[in-house]
Amino acid sequence: MPTFVVEIIFFDRRLTSYMSALKNGCDLSLCFLCRNSLPGWQALAGANRKNLRFKKGAVIFDEGEDIKGMYFVYSGIVKVQRSWGNQKQLILRFAKPGDILGYRGLGDEKKYTISATAIEPVTVCYVDLNFFESMLLINHPLTYQLMQYYTNELQYAEKKMSNLVHLSVKARVAETLLTLNNQFGKSKEGNINVHLSRQDIAAFTGTTYETLFRTMQEYIRAKLIRVSGKKIFLLKEKRLAELAMMH
Amino acid sequence: MPTFVVEIIFFDRRLTSYMSALKNGCDLSLCFLCRNSLPGWQALAGANRKNLRFKKGAVIFDEGEDIKGMYFVYSGIVKVQRSWGNQKQLILRFAKPGDILGYRGLGDEKKYTISATAIEPVTVCYVDLNFFESMLLINHPLTYQLMQYYTNELQYAEKKMSNLVHLSVKARVAETLLTLNNQFGKSKEGNINVHLSRQDIAAFTGTTYETLFRTMQEYIRAKLIRVSGKKIFLLKEKRLAELAMMH
DNA sequence: GCAAAAGTATGATTAAAATCATTTTTTATT
DNA sequence: AATAAAAAATGATTTTAATCATACTTTTGC
């Protein structure tokens, strides 16, 4: 019953126990590329993809590097960020199984303007850029889906941008916590199902470590959240949602 | 020699003298939709598009409204913004001839999350969303181009986001001036070829009117720019570029 | 042509968040 | 297990930019 398995993966894409069983990587039904390839092209995609593994902390690609291919996440979590100087980072988004890394712009410069780093062990489908371009020209549903995918990313980016300008750090931290909860869900224990450093949470919020820390302390004191190491429990989501809408 | 005309338009899409001659609107070679339609589909696109005119200040669509169609700018300039409260705005980008307004997200909610306002008289090609969806499914080069277009927008948005977090207002104002110069070019007189209120420049920079004003005064005093009404002259672009890179 | 509304200009004050400095704890690495 | 390196935790200080207040000027609608 392979169809059944696929359904489960779609329902909870972070089914890591299942993932680890996939010793040979993507089964052609999970990553964006394979998922959106017509049966005829799927074999072609399968033949031209490479399965790559990255351990926690490994840089998948870095700002300034030449763009050579596309990465399709099928297990683990990746942070996508832009740096400034060499200390300050802004995490633009997190990529989970099913997400895409490393689109190229139209500019002449085929260099990454962002970097991608595994924040837990990650496996990806990788395809060469030339192959991918060819795929896009012949595999129309793929192009259509990709267009839709970017549309969504764009809306997400616009919202985030507006938040950065209009909301206080306090509101943004509340927003961050709810977003993480939304994106990663809760573990059995009830904490947000991802382990991030405070540094990374700060970088995702667009603030400094110190300010993030203080704001979180404030929320802990107010019993809106509970924290134990890297486990974060949201105790009053409703109240956090209110705070996320105030200046 | 219609091909020749098309070439000229591609070279300088704001050839407004040519535009005003187009009494009946888009000639099927300018707006994104028509430009990227194969000859066979172009007639179809032509038959299903409406030409709409908006005067200066007119709202093309507003946040919260139902998404009903797509807009393709072929003359004039549009500001695309997100509001907060009902006073604060962030201008995400400006749309010029050839640009697209109003993509929809995948969510169930088919509502605009941004608004578009003409900042000078604007004409657009408008097509119904259903028609556009059909177009995307049959007209593959259009889908491909659209995907590329969004890719670029995304890169632009990511850069802007990073700037908002990492750069001071002073740097961002310098950046804004260079961006405007880049996007709109210089008039014969030498000023940036667009008339924006200080309010809008502030909203594009992601700051308040007062702070923008003071920063511009500082640049005027330092003889980096010269201002006469809404005409802005960049006197030392190199220095501005340096400032745009400093914290 | 006049009134109302936008937009421009500028000083004074406040508040928010970054920066700096230092200690403690946890996590990797050899 | 030892040691180095990150990450976490906080207090104190400084800086930046938002907010508030008010006057003046230019557009624009009736």
Residue B5 confidence (pLDDT) above 60? no
Coil, strand or helix at A202: helix
Across A5-9, B149-153, B221-225, the highest mean pLDDT is recorded for B221-225
Q: How far apart are the first and last CA of chain B?
A: 51
Backbone angles phi, psi at A84, to 5 degrees: -140, 135
Interhelix angle B140-166/A140-166, nearest 10 degrees:
20
Portion of chain B with pLDDT greater than 90, in percent: 74
- Interchain CB distance below 8 Å, A155 and B206: no
Largest separation between any pair of C-alpha atoms in chain B: 58
pTM reported for the whole predicted model: 0.89
> For A62-121, where are the E strands, in sequence order?
69-75, 78-84, 88-95, 100-101, 115-118
> Residue B25: its pLDDT value, please?
61
- Interchain CB distance below 8 Å, B161 and A103: no
Mutant choice from B144, B182, B204 vs A, greatest count of A C-beta within 10 A? B144
- Joined together, the tokens standing for residue A193 give 């199902």
The nearest CA of chain B is from the CA of A219 a distance in Å of 23
Position A184 confidence tier, pLDDT thresholds 50, 70, 90: very high
- What pLDDT digit, counting tens, does each position of A50-108 carry? 999 999 999 999 999 999 999 999 899 999 999 998 889 999 999 999 999 988 766 66
Interhelix angle A209-221/A198-205, nearest 10 degrees:
100
Coil, strand or helix at A231: strand
Residues 128-147 of B with CB under 7 A from strand C: none
> Residue B106: its pLDDT value, please?
62
The DSSP H or E segment spanning B148 is helix B140-166
| Rounded alpha-carbon distances, angstroms, from residue A96 to A75, A91, A183, A209 | 7, 14, 9, 24
- In this complex, how many residue pairs, one in chain A and one in chain B, have their CB atoms less than 8 Å apart? 116
Position B30 confidence tier, pLDDT thresholds 50, 70, 90: confident
